[in-house]
Amino acid sequence: MQVQKFGIEALDNMLGGGLRSGRPYIISGNSGTGKTVLALRFLYEGLKMGEKCLYIATDKPPHSTITSISDSFGWDLLSLNVMDAVPTPSLYSTVYPVRDVTAKGEIREISEMSKNVEKGELTMESIILKLELEYKEKFYHRVVVDSFTTLKRFGVEEERRNPVMAKFFRFFVEKGSTVVLTVEGNIQKIRPELILSSGAIHLKREVQDMEEKRKIAVLKMRGSFFDPIEREFIIDKNGISIRKVKSK
Amino acid sequence: MSVNIGIPGMEKYFPGLREGTINLIVGAPGVGKTILGIQYLIDGAEKNEDVLFISLNESAYDIKRDFEDFTWNLNILNVIDATPTSKKREIRPYREVTQVADVIKMKDVKDKYQSREIDVFNLKSTLKVILEKRKFSRVLLDSITSLKYFYTLDVDPEEATMSFLDFFRLLENTTSLIIAEYFEDIENIMRMMDSVIYLRREGTEIILEILKTSTFYSRSVVPLTLTKNGFVINEKKGR
């Protein structure tokens, strides 16, 4: 079985070697727990292996995220392809929660990104169409959708949400790409994502006695004898480091 | 007559499922529900029974790869791959009622993915056609939660789920095992089950608990360990 690693040895071991190629995975956790950093660590590792990687951004324009992550950790993400799928302000209007517009989102090299790229009004289905065209030209080994929660909230009408989400996950499985989707919210809110994914990594951030504690656990990993024990981790200039479990 | 769930030595505590009934495995994501379900089918297949796996969560191709690390011979199972396609839904003036999937032997699974539009209606009619012609002693459905979430466009998910399960209840001589996520909206489903097996994680261990059954049992909580031969009872931790 072929696996794709994060390049964080302790995490790859927790997963039973890494993520299994061609499957969908989620990284869940509240805002500020480190989902984007971990997801980009996955793409960075892919780039180092010479794999084609795509970053689909729905929260913030991708260039700002990528630049700040590259600067903070010294990761070279220049050969990353990105798709700006940030909804335009009109999409946030409560009157028309979703506009069914064909995909305008463009995929380009991060090095060609300027700050004023025309943004598309993207729906989950229009992104599938756009990616369908993109995949005719090239295959992506690793894809990150950050965040899937925003896409779910603004990219599909509520009554069709679950079946369309199933299609979105399915798209990457059919293409054979390993996709990592970041999701926000408690377990109740992310049930469909938990079912659709082949595996789930959960991140937590707690503050106790003025001290910040970050925690990571593998919740699910189909086809793997994974390690479910929760561990502490830190994010510093060296990136993500996972602490050893203290033996009792 | 009891049908063994496939965990060696389990009959000491729990005689098994009552023949011809519909039963449930519930548990959180990642706890091993599919593994226990497959173990149940393998147990039957090794006794030369005709067993059927209906997969909604993962394609037959992916299931096969998932179980590569186990010592089981998955090739002897029959499977209906009912995973949906990502292709855009075609608008049709009528509901598709033709057969949308077929029974195949796991050993003949070669195509990665099929591409049919599947929903609760055409899946139910497909199963009806198939199961009227051919009797299976054991059937595994993975999972009813998937059916409810992802296969019920334009219908009431709750009602559709119930009528779908009712179909399994009416199958004679088939002992069905249904997999469900352990979400709080599961009460209605549990009510129609003959037995309910609950899997939960405690540290690195999996605990099997019989939440409900119509057969006699001597112990309702059994600690398990997951091995390459599937779940085995963790005897050290017992009692």
Residue B69 lies in a domain: yes
Helices B120-133 & B157-169, crossing angle to 10 degrees? 0
pLDDT tens, B42-69?
999 999 999 999 999 999 999 999 999 9
Question: Which domain range does residue A161 map to?
Answer: 3-236
3-state secondary structure (DSSP) of residue B215: coil
Contacts of A199 in chain B (CB under 8 A): 30
- Does residue B88 belong to the interface with chain A, where contact is any CB pair within 8 Å? yes
Of the candidates A218, A223, A225, the beta carbon closest to that of B226 is on A225
Tell me if A223 and B86 make a contact (CB, 8 A cut-off): no
What is the C-alpha to C-alpha distance for residues A154 and A72, in angstroms, rounded to an integer? 30
What is the C-alpha to C-alpha distance for residues A151 and B197, in angstroms, rounded to an integer? 36
Provide the ipTM: 0.89
* Structural domains in chain A (count): 1
Least Cα distance to A43 among A188, A232, A174, A181 occurs for: A181
What is the C-alpha to C-alpha distance for residues B113 and B87, in angstroms, rounded to an integer? 12
Q: Residue B64: its pLDDT value, please?
A: 93
What is the C-alpha to C-alpha distance for residues B22 and B125, in angstroms, rounded to an integer? 19
* Structural domains in chain B (count): 1
| Average pLDDT rounded to a whole number, residues B111-138 | 87
Residue A243 lies in a domain: no
Residue A248 lies in a domain: no
Q: Which helix (H) or strand (E) holds B55?
A: strand B51-55
Please provide the average confidence, as pLDDT, over all residues in chain B.
89
Residue B238 lies in a domain: no
Q: What is the DSSP letter of B18?
A: E
In a mutational test of the A interface, the residue from B86, B88, B226 whose CB has the highest number of chain A CBs within 10 Å is B86
Q: Is the pLDDT of residue A90 over 80?
A: no
Residue A241 lies in a domain: no
Angle, alpha carbons B180-B186-B187 (nearest 5°): 140
pLDDT tens, B79-105?
999 988 776 555 554 555 677 788 999
Whose structure tokens read 């390993």? Answer: A178
Tell me if A166 and B84 make a contact (CB, 8 A cut-off): yes
Question: Which domain range does residue B196 map to?
Answer: 2-233
Residue A18 lies in a domain: yes
Question: 3-state SS of chain A?
Answer: CCEECCCCHHHHHHCCCCEECCCEEEEECCCCCCHHHHHHHHHHHHHHCCCCEEEEECCCCHHHHHHHHHHHHCCCCCCCEEEECCCCHHHHCCCCCCCCCCCCCCEEEHHHCCCCCCCCCCCHHHHHHHHHHHHHHCCCCEEEEECHHHHHHHCCCHHHHHHHHHHHHHHHHHHCCEEEEEECCCCCCCHHHHHHCCEEEEEEEEEECCEEEEEEEEEEECCCCCCCCCEEEEEECCEEEECCCCCC
- Single-letter amino acid, residue B44: G
What is the C-alpha to C-alpha distance for residues A205 and B92, in angstroms, rounded to an integer? 48
Tell me if B66 and A223 make a contact (CB, 8 A cut-off): yes
CB proximity under 8 Å: B 18-47 to A: 28-30, 34
- Does residue A125 belong to the interface with chain B, where contact is any CB pair within 8 Å? yes
Q: What is the CATH number of the domain that holds B71?
A: 3.40.50.300
Residue A169 lies in a domain: yes
- Does residue A203 belong to the interface with chain B, where contact is any CB pair within 8 Å? no
Q: Which chain B residue lies closest to A221 (C-alpha atoms)?
A: B30
Maximum distance among all alpha carbons in chain B? 61
Tell me if A163 and B150 make a contact (CB, 8 A cut-off): yes
Helices A124-137 & A161-175, crossing angle to 10 degrees? 10
- Does residue A219 belong to the interface with chain B, where contact is any CB pair within 8 Å? yes
In a mutational test of the B interface, the residue from A127, A169, A173 whose CB has the highest number of chain B CBs within 10 Å is A173
Residue A59 lies in a domain: yes
Residue B63 lies in a domain: yes
Q: Residue A116: its pLDDT value, please?
A: 37
Q: Which chain A residue lies closest to B205 (C-alpha atoms)?
A: A228
Tell me if B58 and A222 make a contact (CB, 8 A cut-off): yes
8 Å CB contact between A174 and B86? yes
pLDDT tens, A175-184?
999 999 999 9
Q: Which helix (H) or strand (E) holds B149?
A: helix B144-150
Tell me if A168 and B153 make a contact (CB, 8 A cut-off): no
Q: Return the minimum-mean-pLDDT range out of A201-210, B112-121, B216-225.
A: B112-121
ω into residue B143 within 30 of 0, thus cis? yes
Residue A244 lies in a domain: no
Least Cα distance to A55 among A77, A87, A32, A74 occurs for: A77
Q: Residue B183: its pLDDT value, please?
A: 79
Tell me if B30 and A125 make a contact (CB, 8 A cut-off): no
Q: Return the minimum-mean-pLDDT range out of A121-130, A212-221, B185-194.
A: A121-130
Report the 10 Å Cβ neighbour count for A122: 27
- Does residue B204 belong to the interface with chain A, where contact is any CB pair within 8 Å? yes
Q: What is the CATH number of the domain that holds A216?
A: 3.40.50.300
Residue B36 lies in a domain: yes
Q: How far B111 CA sits from the closest chain A CA (Å)?
A: 11
What is the C-alpha to C-alpha distance for residues A44 and A40, in angstroms, rounded to an integer? 6
A107 — pLDDT class (breaks 50, 70, 90): low
| H-helix segments, B11-137 | 33-46, 60-66, 120-133
